[in-house]
Amino acid sequence: TVGAESVDEFFQEVPDELRFKDKMDLPEPFLSEYALKRHVEGLLSKNRAAGECLNFLGAGCYQHHVPAVCDEINRRAEFLTAYAGEPYDDHGRFQTLFEYASMMGELLNMDVVNVPTYDGYQATATALRMAARLTGRPQALICGSIATGRLAKIRDYCRPVMQIELLGYDAATGQLDLNALRAAISNQTAAVYFENPSYLGFIETQGREISQISHRHGAISVVGVDPISLGVLTPPADYGADIVCGDIQPLGMHMQYGGGQAGFIATRDEEKYVMEYPSRLFGIAPTSVPGEYGFGDVAYDRTSFARREKGKEWVGTAAAYAMTRLTKIEGVRAPLFDAPHFQEFVVNFDGTGKSVAQINAALLERGIFGGKDLSAEFPALGQSALYCLTEIHSKDDIDQLTGAVKEVIA
Instruction: Tell me which architecture the domain covering 78-296 has in CATH.
Output: 3-Layer(aba) Sandwich (3.40)
Q: Is 262 strand, coil or helix? A: coil
Residues of the chain with CATH 3.90.1150.10: 50-65+312-409
Given a contact cutoff of 8 angstroms between Cβ atoms, the answer to whether 334 and 347 are in contact is yes
Whether residue 224 contacts residue 126, with contact meaning beta carbons closer than 8 Å, is answered with: no
Contact yes or no for 139/220 (Cβ under 8 A): no
Q: Hey, which residues does 346 pair with through a beta bridge? A: 386
Q: Tell me where in the chain the CATH 3.40.640.10 domain(s) lie.
A: 78-296
What letter does residue 110 receive in the DSSP assignment?
Answer: -
Residue 189's SS3 state is strand
Q: What is the DSSP string of 269-292?
A: S-HHHHTT--S---EEEE-SSTT-
pLDDT at 83: 62
Distances (CA, A) of 30 to 27, 33, 37, 42, 243: 9, 8, 10, 14, 51
Q: What pLDDT does 298 receive?
A: 63
- Give the model's pLDDT for residue 16: 86
169 - beta bridge partners?
176
* pLDDT confidence of residue 314: 43
Cα three-residue angle 315-101-111, rounded to 5 degrees: 90
End-to-end CA distance of the chain: 69
Q: What are the b/e assignments for 232-250, b being 16+ CB within 10 Å?
A: bbebbbebbbbbbbbbbbb
**What pTM does this model have?**
0.81
Contact 129, 161 (CB under 8 A): yes
Query: Looking at residue 309, what is its pLDDT?
Result: 36
CATH of 50-65+312-409 given 1.10.3720.10, 3.40.50.410, 3.30.70.1230, 3.90.1150.10: 3.90.1150.10
* Tally of residues, the chain: 410
* Residue numbers in the chain where pLDDT is lower than 50: 300-315
Q: How many helices (H) and strands (E) does the chain have?
A: 12, 14
Task: Decide if 233 contacts 342 (C-beta within 8 A).
Answer: yes
How far, in Å, CA of 261 to CA of 344, rounded? 20
CB 99 within 8 A of CB 107: no
Could you give phi then psi for residue 221, rounded to 5 degrees? -90, 115
CA 320 – CA 326 distance, rounded (Å):
10
Where does 152-296 show beta strands of DSSP type E?
A: 163-167, 189-195, 220-224, 243-247, 263-267, 283-286, 293-296
